[in-house]
Amino acid sequence: MIDHKLIGTTSKVYEFEVEKGAIRAFASAIGDDNPLCFDEAYAKSQGYASLVAPPTFAQTLRIPFTDLNVNVDKSRTLQGEQEYIYERPIVAGDVLRCVSELVDIKERQGKKGPMISFVYEIRGEDLKGNFVFLSRTTVICR
Amino acid sequence: MLIMEWNEIRINQEFEYTKPPIDKAQLVKYMGASGDFNMIHADDETARKIGLPGVIAQGMLSMGFLGQFVGQIVGNHGFVSRLQVRFVGIVLPGDVVTCRAKVTGKDEIQQTIDLEISTETEPGKPSTIGNASIKFKN
């Protein structure tokens, strides 16, 4: 049922342009009123090029599972774990080159039959190739 | 806003922040902003089909609360360099989420702080458990 050969599969490269409106909408949905996310003049006064994204903003830089040859019914998945590592905060105006990689697949017996989980990482770099962030996600399929 | 100075932070120091109650509109708003269109967060029927009582909040919304909370601790003195959680309990519309953090490490050379973090919907009922790091500006 599990094809372990899928481990190591990588997506194509996606280039995401980070927009001010997306940062404001994301912070607003969380209810995060950090002025670094809303007030560009303030963010600039703190040494940033523009608005600063909240720490979980990398979630919006989405790469489809199908790129990793993973086909699942979205409504039957639950996120088990999430980690973000940042070299620096994401700021508006960033163009980030992102690649996703399937790094692990696990199977274990749950109460209602076998449960499969998979782990994927998204790595984001700027256009000069400098590392910006790493996202590691564990998804459980039920 | 909280905003701690580097010199004010000590090991085992604890922080707490309680969010306003979550409502269904916030779940839809977060769905739009995040781009994650898993309908178990918007449609009761879809949620019930997989055995849930009705729509549940995105785990990532609770993690977002933690990002906000840890960001409030550092303010303009640095940034959240790591945020990691396990999702251990469901959060429902109407729930009040409290964020907690405890300082577990302070590295004077790297100018970083390590924290244990969690969210809970009532005392002793965690929805996320994890760790965070803050990098202070030199």
Q: Name the CA dihedral angle for A24, B85, B43, B68, rounded to a multiple of 10 degrees.
A: -30
Using the beta-carbon criterion (under 8 Å), do B49 and A79 form an inter-chain contact?
no
Contact at CB, B29 and A29, closer than 8 angstroms: yes
Give the pLDDT confidence score for residue A1 in this predicted structure: 54
Q: Most B CBs within 10 Å: which of A39, A42, A59, as the mutation test of the B interface?
A: A59
| pLDDT at A102 > cutoff 70 | yes
Average pLDDT of the residues in A63-76:
83
Whether B33 sits inside 8 A of A29 (CB atoms) is yes
Our CA-based measurement puts residue A96 at a distance from the nearest CA of chain B, in whole angstroms, of 17
Predicted local confidence at residue A129, as pLDDT: 98
* pLDDT, average across residues A131-136: 98
Mean pLDDT confidence for A84-97: 98
- Per CB-CB distance under 8 Å, the chain B contacts of A52 are 79
Task: Specify whether the CB–CB gap between B96 and B21 falls below 8 A.
Answer: yes
Fold of A4-18+55-141: Thiol Ester Dehydrase; Chain A (3.10.129)
Tally of domains within chain B: 1
Among B81, B79, B83, B94, which residue's Cα sits nearest to residue B60?
Answer: B83
Closest listed residue to residue A128, CA positions, set A98, A99, A96, A100: A96
CATH of the domain at B28: 3.10.129.10
pLDDT band at B93 (very low <50, low <70, confident <90, very high): very high
Give mean pLDDT, residues B69-82. Answer: 96
Contact A78 B76 (CB under 8 A): no
B74 φ, ψ to 5°?
-85, -25
Residue B54 lies in a domain: yes
Q: Which of A37, A48, A79 to mutate to test the interface with B (most CBs of B within 10 A)?
A: A79
What are the chain B neighbours of A56 within 8 Å (beta carbons)? 60, 63-64, 67, 83
Banded model confidence at residue B50, pLDDT cuts 50, 70, 90: confident
Read off the pLDDT band of A75 (50, 70, 90): confident
Residue A76: Cβ within 10 Å count? 13
- Decide the pairing of beta strands B112-122 and B98-107: antiparallel
Q: Determine what percent of chain A is predicted with pLDDT higher than 90.
A: 76
Closest CA to B134 of B1, B4, B43: B4
Chain B residues whose beta carbon lies within 8 Å of the beta carbon of residue A81: 84-87
Contact A82 B63 (CB under 8 A): yes
Say which residues have a Cβ less than 8 Å from residue B78's Cβ, sequence separation at least 6. Answer: B111, B134, B135, B136, B137
Q: How many Cβ atoms from other residues are within 10 Å of residue B65's Cβ?
A: 26
Q: Distance (Å, rounded) from C-alpha A137 to C-alpha A134?
A: 10
CB contact under 8 A, B68 and A32: yes
Query: Which residue range is the domain that position B72 belongs to?
Result: 6-136
Which of the four pLDDT bands, split at 50, 70 and 90, describes residue B60?
Answer: very high
Q: Which residues touch A8 (CB under 8 Å, ≥6 apart)?
A: A101, A102, A103
Q: Which two tokens stand for residue A45?
A: 């006064």
pLDDT at A110: 78
Q: Which residue has the tokens 């899928």?
A: A6
Mean pLDDT of the B71-94 span = 97
pLDDT for B1: 54
Quote the minimal CA–CA distance from A8 to chain B in Å.
Answer: 22
Complex ipTM tops 0.90: yes
Q: Does A9 score more than 80 pLDDT?
A: yes
The C-alpha of B22 sits at a distance from chain A's nearest C-alpha, in angstroms, of: 10
Residue bearing tokens 């019914």: A73
**Percent of chain B whose pLDDT exceeds 90:** 93
Average pLDDT over residues B54-82: 97
pLDDT score, position A2: 66
Query: At residue A17, does pLDDT exceed 70?
Result: yes
Let me know if residue B1 belongs to a domain: no
Distance from CA of B118 to the nearest CA of A (A): 13
- Whether residue B138 is predicted with pLDDT greater than 90 in this model: the reply is no
